[in-house]
Chains A and B, each alone.
Chain A
């Protein structure tokens, strides 16, 4: 009996310690204001003064930072441009990832395993190194422009532009798009396609009428799995983007480390989370449906 309780409580304890407590701390931080001190925010909870300390602390909290967020053009554009980057990258990922996943699912069992390994293989090297590699490719005298020069084509200025950020996002998240799509396409019953053709579909209509609608759960899973973390992505815009590239991950970093405005960084982080709750909830529902 006691052991059963321990089993049930363990995951909740984990959630409280590593999710609820940090979230509460960030929420508290977002309601504070900056001061020139270490740590650079106030009010601070002082339990040595008992109840007076708690009420003084609660009285010191305010939503002023959030009000500032809604008024400052910078935050709003960073927010919108993050959604824009993630949206464009997700659309490109769908266009590239779907044919790859579909092609993989058409191969024989042996070749499929090898291709699957090929998709997962990049995970075996550091993410940071792979993004640095893109700098080597995209920089003015990089591999891309050397290649273009060989073909007598004009060089491209890609590094430190928004285009480079999109390239980096698409590159880094492609496996997360391919894998869920491949999972649904691979287990699709071949006889369904034959039945569709038997009933008058050309191979192309059979794809649109049967394969595609049946792959929608994988498509939704892949899109959300990429979109959600891309909105808050920091490393890729920081390394590949230009000084004018606005993304929330970068904004949070700047507020926290450069401006030492911890309340603003926390408020931006929470605003980001609030926006992503809808797609995250959609993703969870989709997963529950697939599992049932």
Chain B
């Protein structure tokens, strides 16, 4: 089946340099309507520049950005139906929560009554009922994050951009927020694009993601697809943990959970000694020092535990077709 719907956003050969540095180097990418898309990569890989070009804060040097099939090159940020949730939240400190949320609606010249009801709706959506009169400095970090989200969603943008939206939250709150964000996106049917350096976050929230390195896209796909079939050694190493085992002139990337640990010699297994044991409750992670390789094995803690300690001799093996063959 072919997809007849044109993409909501299309980047076409987009390049951007800042002085000598090439921030974005020929990126072409489609984002479909209604999808939760993640741009993933280490800091400085160009993911933020790409997002800022879509928001209109930077202009591409070459290439085009199409929104609903229309080149938006000449449109300043205030005319783009694209809203951004800033990493710092950027809440207006002189306005209370309700007026922050109403900010975009007022610019659209929406009638007062409609604004008031939309603000109430947004406060309920992010579970901040009754806090409309608070000042931003009277809110907790998690509450500020939700106000920022409500403010960006309120004017119903075609696409919501989230710039490292959970970077300032502690781990537990971050995990809760990820789930809430997914539920919210599904409920609203809005297109979300998140920029993050946290692969776990991207894997959890995104329908599809792009892994970036040094201004280029290394791979685009669903999290599962990228995890199971990384395009190259870089992607395999960046998304989750991986063992890169040489196989001819290529590498076989095998995930730690696809490796088997045995205390007795096995046909075709690599011999080594246990170098590290880390217990995570649900699983145990072993690092095995084998001949010229450091192998990581993850074992689910079900059934009888392995009586192993650091220094013990072990044999590590994997199914012949485990993981994926990647180019170096």
Measured CB to CB, the residues of A under 8 A from B are 189, 191-192, 194-202, 205-206, 209-210, 213-214
Contacts and interface: CB of A to CB of B under 8 A. Distances in A.
Interface string B150-161: 011001000000
A196 B90 CA distance: 9
Nearest to A192: B90
Contact of A198 (B77, B88, B108): B77
B86 interface: yes
A192 B100 CA distance: 11
Nearest to A191: B90
A254 to B, nearest CB: 47
A209 B93 CA distance: 12
Interface of B: 55-57, 76-78, 82-84, 86, 88, 90, 92-94, 103-104, 107-108, 151-152, 155
Contacts of B107: 199-201, 205
A192 B57 contact: no
DSSP class of A's interface residues: helix, strand, loop or mixed? helix
Contacts of B83: 198-199
Given A199-B103, A200-B155, A194 B94 contact: no
A198 B82 CA distance: 7
Contacts of B86: 191, 194-195
A195 B78 contact: no
A205 to B, nearest CB: 7
Contacts of A196: 92, 103
A197 B90 CA distance: 12
A210 B92 contact: yes
Contacts of A201: 78, 107
Contact of B77 (A189, A194, A214): A194
A199 B104 contact: yes
24 contacts: A191-B86, A191-B90, A194-B57, A194-B86, A194-B90, A195-B90, A195-B92, A196-B103, A197-B57, A197-B76, A197-B77, A198-B56, A198-B77, A198-B78, A198-B82, A199-B151, A199-B152, A200-B155, A201-B78, A202-B78, A205-B107, A206-B78, A209-B103, A213-B94
Contacts of B92: 192, 195-196, 210
B76 to A, nearest CB: 7
Contacts of B103: 196, 199, 209
Nearest to A188: B93
Contact of B108 (A194, A200, A210, A214): A200
B94 A198 contact: no
A191 B84 CA distance: 11
B104 A189 contact: no
Contacts of A191: 86, 88, 90
